[in-house]
């Protein structure tokens, strides 16, 4: 078996705003295995400024992985604990190498084109007019669960947007999730959560920055609005520490991005601990190309969650990898009449 990697820059159709700034491009690193005339592909979804493995020696570690691919999956995963996105790429690549087509990692009714995955429609930060237009578009596209990024424009204007949605659509019509990406402070978070709770929201992701464990625990206890941990899970690699985080904070939900928490295996550890502690969860992509998104979607379908998942990011790029993945009527679908075109 041999291995190499290829960097690929994904270009956003339009600049996408978060509380951390404006995103124009997203790097993808494809790990490619070759053995007996078969190819296996995995995406290492490094997320600049967010991934715990966003370090200077990242490319050097990819080179080490390729050089030592003969060690096998188990040894590599153990050696790559500090590089969760590379762990995920390795998992995908081995599954891809052993699959029938290279992209059927978890064959199911989803990958056969017979079932779909409910997903939330993502509303990016921007001007009030831009956000209103996105909301209108998502509703017209058949979404009944919308996730809105907040924390970049004036908070009162964001509340106005939510109020305008609720004037037309009740919580029975549209489920609203908001994502603060840690934009609130420990001093103002509870008051803002109380004001947000007026709009019958499903939940808020990461209201304050990660690492403020005691403050987050107090928020989860006192908030009238359910809280979902997201960034809080990044960089926590051992089961013992994962248990300590969830048992201390006791959130209502956790949100798992496999590229950021150690792939399928790391995500499954979080799920097992969450379910033991009666904590809900759902899966979200982290701006991967369709290669990584496909892996996440196929795995997520097998988990049989009843909640809408965060898997609608494949449409964000002008130069994504052509794939059978399609977003229709608020769901992610796999159209078996469309082909993969992995040509980078």
Catalytic positions are 149, 257
Instruction: Classify 324 as helix, strand or coil.
Output: coil
DSSP single-letter state for residue 142? T
Q: Where are the beta strands (DSSP E) in the chain?
A: 2-18, 21-35, 38-44, 117-118, 121-123, 145-149, 175-179, 203-205, 227-229, 253-256, 280-283, 325-328, 331-334
**Distance between CA atoms of residues 25 and 11, nearest Å:** 5
Rg of the chain on CA atoms, in Å: 20
Q: Which two tokens stand for residue 66?
A: 């390729």
In three-state form (DSSP H/G/I as H, E/B as E, the rest C), the secondary structure along 215-253 is HHHHHHHHCCCCEEECHHHCCCCCHHHHHHHHHHHCCCE
DSSP single-letter state for residue 99? S
């Amino acid at each position: 078996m041999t291995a190499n990697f290829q960097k690929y820059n994904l270009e956003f159709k339009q600049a996408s705003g978060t509380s951390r700034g404006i995103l124009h491009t997203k790097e993808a690193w494809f790990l490619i295995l070759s053995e007996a005339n078969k190819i296996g592909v995995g995406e290492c979804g490094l997320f600049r400024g967010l991934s715990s493995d966003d370090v200077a020696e990242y490319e050097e570690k990819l080179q080490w992985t390729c050089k030592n691919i003969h060690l096998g999956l188990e040894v590599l995963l153990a050696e790559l604990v500090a590089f969760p996105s590379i762990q995920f790429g390795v998992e995908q690549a081995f599954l891809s190498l052993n699959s029938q087509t290279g992209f059927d990692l978890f064959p199911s009714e989803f990958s056969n084109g017979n079932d779909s995955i409910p997903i939330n429609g993502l509303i990016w930060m921007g001007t009030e007019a831009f956000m209103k237009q996105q909301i209108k578009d998502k509703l017209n596209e058949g979404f009944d669960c919308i996730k809105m990024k907040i924390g970049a424009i004036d908070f009162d204007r964001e509340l106005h947007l939510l109020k305008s949605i609720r004037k037309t659509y009740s919580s029975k019509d549209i489920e609203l999730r908001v994502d603060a990406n840690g934009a609130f402070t420990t001093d103002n978070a509870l008051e803002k959560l109380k004001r947000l709770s007026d709009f019958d929201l499903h939940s808020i992701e990461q209201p304050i920055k990660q690492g403020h464990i005691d403050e987050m625990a107090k928020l989860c206890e006192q908030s009238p609005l359910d809280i979902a941990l997201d960034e809080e899970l990044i960089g926590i690699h051992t089961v013992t520490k994962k248990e300590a985080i969830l048992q201390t904070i006791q959130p209502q939900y956790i949100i798992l991005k496999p590229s950021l928490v150690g792939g399928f295996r790391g995500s499954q550890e979080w799920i097992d601990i969450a379910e033991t502690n009666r904590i809900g969860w759902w899966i979200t992509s982290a701006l991967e190309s369709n290669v990584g998104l496909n892996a996440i979607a196929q795995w997520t379908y097998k988990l049989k969650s009843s909640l809408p998942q965060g898997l609608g990011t494949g449409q964000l790029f002008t130069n994504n990898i052509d794939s059978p993945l399609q977003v229709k009527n608020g769901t992610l679908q796999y159209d078996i009449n469309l082909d993969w075109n992995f040509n980078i």
